[in-house]
C-alpha cells in the first residue's frame, strides 16, 4: 500500500512501518503482505498493542515520528475518506466524481508526507501535536483490558467467553471501530463490512467515519 511512497523517499532518511491490527493471527494478514511485496516493515499486532499505546480507533491511522523519535503529528486518518459512505450498496460502486475526489484526497495526503520528509513541512510544533492527541479515559483503559483478555480467550478456544469480553470492550469504547469490527469479524468473516456495519456508519449522521487530517 505504501511501497511507492517508500521507494520514492527511502534514500531521504525515511521508513514506513505498517502494522496489521489483526487479532485473528498472522495468517490472516500474510496473503496481503506477500502480495504487497513491500520492503518496508510489515508487522503483525494480534493484541492491538499499538492501538493501546497510541490510543487508535480505526484503520488506517498514521503517526508521524521524527528522527529523534518524537511524535510530530498525532494519530490521523492515513489517506482514506468518507466517500465510500455514498456508494451504491447494490453495485458497491462510487460515482465517478466521488472516486476522483477520493483519489485526490489520498494523493494530497501522500504529498504532505513527501513534503514532510523532504523539507520538514507539516511537522507540528509540540503544543499543537500534543493538543491533537486523543485522551485515554478510564472507560477506554478498561475497554483495552477487556479486549486483551477477549483476544487471549479466543486464541485458547474459549470463544463464547472471549466474544463476551470483546463485546464489553466495544460497549465501553463505542468510538473504536477497530474493536467493534474485530469483535464482529471474529464471529463471522465478512460481518464487519455487512449490514450491521453500514447501520453503524449511518448512525454517525454528520460525524465522520474517517476524520480528515488537519493538514
| CB of residue 170 to other proteins, shortest distance in Å | 14
- Find out whether 74 and 55 touch, Cβ atoms under 8 Å: no
77 to 136, contacts with other proteins by CB under 8 A? Answer: 78, 113, 116-117, 126, 129-130, 133, 135-136
Pick between residue 56 and residue 83 the one whose CB is nearest to other proteins.
56
Pick between residue 71 and residue 105 the one whose CB is nearest to other proteins.
71
Among 89-97, 99-107, 186-194, 205-213, which window interacts with other proteins (CB under 8 A)? 186-194
Task: At 127, list the grid cell.
Answer: 503544543
- Find out whether 50 and 56 touch, Cβ atoms under 8 Å: yes
SS3 label, residue 1 = coil
User: What is the C-alpha radius of gyration for the chain, rounded to an integer number of angstroms?
Assistant: 18
DSSP class of residue 93 equals B
- Tell me which of 3, 8, 28, 94 binds other proteins, using CB under 8 A: 28
How far apart, in Å, are the Cα atoms of 8 and each of 15, 32, 77, 111, 142?
A: 11, 21, 21, 11, 41
Q: Is the peptide bond before 45 cis (omega within 30 degrees of 0)?
A: no
By CB under 8 A, the count of residues binding other proteins is: 80
User: Does 61 engage in binding with other proteins (CB under 8 A)?
Assistant: yes
- Tell me which of 13, 96, 157, 205 binds other proteins, using CB under 8 A: 13
- Tell me which of 37, 64, 106, 115 binds other proteins, using CB under 8 A: 64
Pick between residue 25 and residue 100 the one whose CB is nearest to other proteins.
25
Pick between residue 100 and residue 130 the one whose CB is nearest to other proteins.
130
DSSP class of residue 215 equals -
Amino acid at each position: 500500500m505504501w511501497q511507492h511512497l517508500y521507494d520514492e523517499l527511502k534514500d531521504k532518511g525515511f521508513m514506513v512501518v505498517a502494522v496489521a491490527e489483526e487479532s485473528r493471527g498472522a495468517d490472516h494478514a500474510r496473503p496481503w503482505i506477500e502480495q504487497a511485496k513491500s520492503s518496508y516493515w510489515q508487522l503483525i499486532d494480534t493484541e492491538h498493542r499499538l492501538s493501546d499505546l497510541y490510543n487508535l480507533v480505526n484503520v488506517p491511522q498514521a503517526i508521524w515520528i521524527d528522527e529523534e523519535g518524537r511524535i510530530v503529528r498525532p494519530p490521523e486518518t492515513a489517506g482514506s475518506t468518507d466517500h465510500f459512505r455514498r456508494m451504491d450498496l447494490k453495485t458497491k460502486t462510487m460515482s465517478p466524481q466521488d472516486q476522483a475526489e477520493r483519489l485526490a484526497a489520498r494523493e494530497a495526503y501522500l504529498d504532505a508526507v513527501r513534503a514532510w520528509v523532504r523539507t520538514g513541512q507539516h511537522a507540528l510544533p509540540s503544543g499543537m501535536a500534543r493538543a491533537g492527541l486523543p485522551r485515554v479515559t478510564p472507560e477506554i483503559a478498561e475497554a483495552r483490558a477487556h479486549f486483551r483478555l477477549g483476544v487471549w480467550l479466543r486464541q485458547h478456544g474459549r470463544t463464547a467467553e472471549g466474544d463476551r469480553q470483546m463485546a464489553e470492550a466495544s460497549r465501553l469504547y463505542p468510538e473504536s471501530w477497530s474493536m467493534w469490527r474485530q469483535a464482529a469479524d471474529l464471529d463471522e468473516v465478512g460481518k464487519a463490512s455487512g449490514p450491521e456495519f453500514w447501520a453503524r456508519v449511518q448512525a454517525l449522521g454528520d460525524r465522520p467515519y474517517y476524520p480528515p487530517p488537519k493538514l
